[in-house]
Amino acid sequence: MNPFLRLFGIILVFLFALASWMTLGGITTARTDDETGSLSSRIQQLYGSPQTQAAPTVTLNWEELVNHEEQITLANGQVTTKVTPTWEARSRVLVPNQTRITADLSLDERRKGLMWFPLYKVAFTGGWKIPIEGDVPANSHVEVAFAYPDPQGQYDDFSFLVDGKDIARSLVNSPGVVTATLPGGVQLGQVIALGIGYHSQGMTEWRYQPTREVGQVEDFKLAMTTDFTAIDFPSMTMSPTQETALDGRPGWALNWDFARLVTGQAIGMTMPTHIQPGELASMLSFSAPIPLGLYFVWIYVLGLLKKYEIHPVNYLLLASAFFAFNLLFAYTADHLPVEYAFGLASAVSVFLSVTYLRLVVGPRFAFIEAGIAQILYQVGFGVAHFFDGYTGLTITILGILTLFALMQLTGRIKWSEVFGAPEPTKPLPAA
């Protein structure tokens, strides 16, 4: 076969495979997006959404007698001033001078179809000491407003303590917020001890917001424990001042200790998650032409050196074996653990290729030169997708190694002779 026609046929096969992989990748992405949209809302309704717990708002409230002046025109044309005394509500926000927070996070991942959802359970307890400072009108009272992190969430074992007394049953409920008017009068120098606790559950991340916008916190301590080791912090949050691995079990003890801090940032934790099967299947499909291209170049050069005439139709079937890997993985990843689906798809693809080349060329070429090349290019490159940030490095290393091997193998080939005359062929071995 004319070398130019063979090369042109191989290129057409590659382009056909490229189009097939782009189609499969698009279908897999659409399936994943559909499942993400439909399942995320259902999962949030069942298990909760990302939670941000804000510090309670404590205000000093009183009524102040204010004289309102009004200009009145009498019947004789004279203008007089009418003074009307009116009681008006006034308030001032009280700032805690001590905060103690504990948050125990436990991971509770759930898988639905092509998606893993990083759910978690949280045991939250908070303690605040609020001093009564400044002017304290005689008729003033203190009101506490506590906003739940998720208005639709579930809060078990909820407690609301004021100076050691649980007043949870007397709270006034409104959507997402509970308020309490503290009994008794207010005196200058008084310190109110407030304690709130509950057990809840959410998804993706948990945060504690100590201030509204930019504010000041004093004598602040937050202790967080996790039952997972892959810790990560959300954007716009503060790093812990101390990190300690737990003894005897996986997890971390994290502490945020501040004497006096001015900040607008929160404290939080992002939950770890498994590799998303749908996203991985899409990435493998979109990147599949890279290992196939390296494999085709390797097979073409080895066939040229060993005088084997491998027809473009043979390349088409080899490309189909590569495509079978992605097709099988895309439709088993939502039924099997992703590692098992990857192993099954890899074994099937390699089996198809080597058993086919055994008939086309011979056992040694199929199992050694071609088989090892497929394991390196397709399987090795696929494994790199399991590790964030290593796919580019992997393909770079494979490309450089392939380039080196090809340069050494073809250094003495006279390409003008290869493309200028029909290639000599070697009789194929008997099957």
Contacts of 58 (CB under 8 A, 6+ apart): 93, 94, 96, 128, 130, 142, 143, 144, 145, 192, 194
Q: What is the pLDDT of residues 120-154, one digit of tens each?
A: 999 999 999 999 888 888 788 889 999 999 888 88
Tell me: do 256 and 291 sit in the same domain: no
Tokens of 316: 């088409």
Question: Residue 427 and residue 431: Cα distance in Å, rounded?
Answer: 12
Residue 115 has pLDDT above 90, yes or no: no
Within-domain flag for 429: no
Q: Phi/psi of residue 276, each to 5°?
A: -75, 120
Tell me: do 263 and 350 sit in the same domain: no
* pLDDT band, very low/low/confident/very high, at 412 (cuts 50, 70, 90): confident
Q: What is the pLDDT of residues 14-44, one digit of tens each?
A: 999 999 999 998 988 887 777 666 666 677 7
Tell me: do 181 and 125 sit in the same domain: yes
Q: What is the mean pLDDT of residues 104-112?
A: 87
CATH number at residue 62: 2.60.40
Q: Work out whether the CA dihedral 146, 151, 152, 153 comes out positive or negative.
A: negative
- Of 398, 384, 402, 314, whose CA–CA distance to 352 is shortest? 314
Q: What is the pLDDT of residues 144-203, one digit of tens each?
A: 999 999 888 889 999 999 988 988 888 888 888 999 888 777 888 889 999 999 999 998
How big, in percent rounded to 5, are the helix, strand and coil portions of the chain? 40, 35, 30
Which pLDDT score is estimated for 101? 96
> Number of structural domains, the chain?
2
Quote the mean pLDDT of the chain. Answer: 87
- Range(s) of the domain holding residue 240: 51-203+205-270
Tell me: do 173 and 66 sit in the same domain: yes
- Whole-structure pTM over 0.85, yes or no? no
Q: Work out whether the CA dihedral 8, 14, 17, 18 comes out positive or negative.
A: negative
Within-domain flag for 333: yes
Tell me: do 58 and 167 sit in the same domain: yes
